[in-house]
Structure 1
Amino acid sequence: MHTPSNKLITKTGKERQSHLEVTEAAELMKFLIGAIPSKSRSDIKSLLAHHQISVGNEVITQYNYPLEIGQQVVVNWTKVLIEKQPEGLNIVFEDLHIIIIEKQAGLLSIATATEKEQTAYSILSEHVKKRDPKNKIFVLHRLDRETSGVMMFAKSEKVQQLLQNAWKEVVLERSYVAVVEGLVTKEQGTITSWLTESKAFIMYSSRTPNAGQKAVTHYQVLQKNKNYSLLEVKLETGRKNQIRVHMKEIGHSVIGDKKYGATKHPIGRLGLHARVLAFKHPITGEDIRYETDIPKEFLNLFSQ
């Protein structure tokens, strides 16, 4: 089984993982006692019991697991590794207060009045209720159905309120990668406009100050060819469909985004991925940063 650490690169102010090289054959418990002398035998048993030890990409819980020379033991200090991932998403971090997932394209974040199908919210609700039927999940932000990437949910109303009431101060970075149509000649730029929604649920952009909700998007070109450009996009505001509307506004719609002017659909999905989420933990105060890989289907468009 693959651990979440294979899916994401974790970068924080403090080391969240220890990677330990096996230099002689030994049982796992004996190895860990020697490798991390600051921890007691009961501490190490607890790490094993809470699925925080992995060997060769597999979560190991038995203390007498035989290790071979050259293997790597990973200790995940602050996250419980998930043995079986729910369908449609990967849980990449979970503690008592929050859950961070990587959502796949095509999965709704939360049900709407007209759509009652399985969503990231319903999958996670089921996940936490397995431990205690009273457990609940609370929404913090959303990703469009066809957008993949990192999302965070709260596990209590208190944490939800703490995060939502100070979202701008707590969230240190939200950045996306987008594949857009055409060659973007300006290497970087900022788009500022005011967004309003029509009765048909389409967002419209206006340069008239205060004619809607202010939206600010920063972009930088990462790669380009004559057909497409790969952009890093950072949000200063988080409005509905903001990136999609702003890309259309500069004449470079996100690929696969027929709703906002795209004519090309080369990868069978929307070319938008929430790549980085960095924030200050609402309870511990620790700075946490999750960075995912750029989807392969995005990069393949620039490898020919």
Structure 2
Amino acid sequence: MQPQPPPISLAQPLPLLYQSADLVAINKPHGLLVHRSPIASDASEFAVQLLRDQLGQRVYPVHRLDRKTGGVLLFALTEAMNSTMQILFAEGKVQKTYVAIVRGYTPDEQTIDYPLRRDDGTIQYAVTFLKTLQRTEVPLPFGKHATSRYSLVELTPTTGRMHQLRKHMAHILHPIIGDRPHGCNKQNKLFKDQFDMNTMLLHAQQIEFTHPVTSERITITAPWQAEFERMMRGLFGVDN
């Protein structure tokens, strides 16, 4: 059985990134489940319930983020808007952009066109566009190497398969740091030992779509969470 992330406790309200009459977006912390799940019985706090209590009204998550992923998470405030946004996501009319810190030097750009298998055996078409933003080599011995190399990548999925980005990065041998079970356990241990870091370094940075009621082009961007920013500063010398 894979180790589960420790339960988190939120002393502060969820940070709101965008709010209108029918939509609201938060910057979801790493480690927070979107909603209750039978496979995560250790969790006691969930984004749906926390946001509902914070706003004093019912909320509807229109898409999902992995528990270990931080960043933009969008909710509808009415059933009608929830249905409409679900359709936009299903039709690929919502652009999602992620950033991740991965092992090794990635190519400048790459299209990862690699089908993924669901738990029930179904094979699903899946495509991710990768763009390398930065590379770094740090004096951190690993295995037979005197240094370690990492890349900051921008990932744009055109499909929304479960764990798509995590599986695609593992497939091209540049796993996301902190990913279990798809990542590199030796690298994950290195980061835990050297940096006391066990957060998965995947961040949902931006969502773009045309508002279905107002026709306004909406762009919602989430600043990095604290652990992601700490590793960006330590590895790349970059602040949020």
TM score, norm. by length of structure 1: 0.62
Kindly provide the amino acid, as one letter, of the partner of residue 148 in structure 1: G
CA contact (8 A) 1:98 1:154 kept: yes
- Pair 1:177–1:88, CA change in 2 (3 A): farther
Q: Does 1:241 align with 2:152?
A: no
Higher RCO structure (Cα 8 Å, ≥6 apart): 2
Tell me how far 1:141 sits from its aligned partner.
Answer: 0.6
Distance 1:88 1:233 in 2: 28
Number of residue pairs aligned between Structure 1 and Structure 2 = 203
Distance 2:203 2:55 in 1: 26
Q: Does 1:279 align with 2:204?
A: no
Tell me how far 1:88 sits from its aligned partner.
Answer: 6.4
| Segment drifting more, 290-299 vs 118-127 | 290-299
- Pair 1:169–1:244, CA change in 2 (3 A): closer
CA contact (8 A) 2:17 2:221 kept: no
Give 2:102's aligned residue.
180
Tell me how far 1:291 sits from its aligned partner.
Answer: 2.1
Q: Does the residue aligned with 1:260 lie in a helix, a strand or coil? A: coil
Distance 2:208 2:119 in 1: 32
Distance 1:195 1:169 in 2: 18
Q: Does 1:127 align with 2:127?
A: no
Could you list the runs of 5+ residues in structure 2 that have no partner in the other structure?
Answer: 1-9, 138-148, 192-196
Give 1:302's aligned residue.
236
Distance 2:92 2:151 in 1: 31
Tell me how far 1:126 sits from its aligned partner.
Answer: 1.3
Distance 1:283 1:161 in 2: 13
CA contact (8 A) 1:92 1:102 kept: yes
Give 1:102's aligned residue.
27
Q: Does the residue aligned with 2:67 lie in a helix, a strand or coil? A: coil
Distance 1:230 1:192 in 2: 20
CA RMSD after TM alignment: 2.2
Tell me how far 1:169 sits from its aligned partner.
Answer: 5.3
Give 1:3's aligned residue.
none
CA contact (8 A) 2:166 2:183 kept: no
- Pair 1:177–1:298, CA change in 2 (3 A): farther
CA contact (8 A) 1:86 1:123 kept: no
Distance 2:172 2:13 in 1: 33
Match of 1:264 among 167, 187, 203: 187
Distance 1:107 1:218 in 2: 26
- Pair 1:99–1:216, CA change in 2 (3 A): same
Tell me how far 1:246 sits from its aligned partner.
Answer: 0.3
Tell me how far 1:282 sits from its aligned partner.
Answer: 2.2
TM score, norm. by length of structure 2: 0.78
CA contact (8 A) 2:92 2:159 kept: no
Distance 2:118 2:62 in 1: 21
Counterparts of 1:51-70 in structure 2, within 5 Å, are none
- Pair 1:117–1:164, CA change in 2 (3 A): same
Counterparts of 1:1-304 in structure 2, within 5 Å, are 87=12, 89-114=14-39, 115=41, 117-129=44-56, 135-167=57-89, 168=91, 170-171=93-94, 173-184=95-106, 186-198=107-119, 212-226=123-137, 227-262=149-184, 263-265=186-188, 266=191, 267-294=197-224, 295-300=228-233, 301-303=235-237
Q: Does the residue aligned with 1:259 lie in a helix, a strand or coil? A: coil
Tell me how far 1:271 sits from its aligned partner.
Answer: 0.8
Distance 1:138 1:164 in 2: 10
Distance 2:219 2:11 in 1: 23
Distance 1:213 1:87 in 2: 39
Q: Which has the larger radius of gyration?
A: 1
Tell me how far 1:215 sits from its aligned partner.
Answer: 0.9
Give 1:7's aligned residue.
none
> Identity of counterpart residues, as a percentage?
31
